[in-house]
Amino acid sequence: KNQVEQSPQSLIILEGKNCTLQCNYTVSPFSNLRWYKQDTGRGPVSLTIMTFSENTKSNGRYTATLDADTKQSSLHITASQLSDSASYICVVSEAGGGNKLTFGTGTQLKVEL
């Protein structure tokens, strides 16, 4: 069964600090991996999409890494801001056509003063 597991489940950090969120998956065959940010009461917003051949991808202060061999990904947030407080969801797409996305349950990040 295709699964996406994220850790930690929740995280509290001080403003200005860095943090790294983890994602492990068993989805196969693999197509791509996405990280979404979901603010409370809002829909998910895409941060990055990475294919099999991409090891790292940045979007401003967000940097995602992918190790397709170990089936692991991370999302690193640099110099966190209060507005980074949200749920971060790892989503893996299965190859072969069709909308076969497997969502992780997310990491709830809270950035405090």
Confirm or reject binding of residue 59 to another protein (CB under 8 A). no
Q: Using the rule CB under 8 A, is 44 a contact of another protein?
A: yes
Among 18, 20, 46, 58, binds another protein (CB under 8 A): 46
In sign, the C-alpha dihedral spanning 32, 33, 37, 40 is positive
Per CB under 8 A, the list member of 13, 22, 24, 32 interacting with another protein is: 32
86 binds another protein, rule: CB under 8 A: no
Residues 6+ positions from 102 with CB-CB distance below 8 Å: 2, 3, 4, 25, 27, 91, 92, 93, 94
- Longest distance between any two alpha carbons in the chain, whole Å: 45
Q: Out of 24, 49, 59, 74, which residue is the one contacting another protein (CB under 8 A)?
A: 49
* Rounded to 5°, angle at Cα 46 from 59 and 72: 75
Judged by the rule CB under 8 A, the positions of this chain that interact with another protein are 31-32, 41-46, 49, 51, 87, 89, 93, 95, 97-99, 101, 103, 105-106
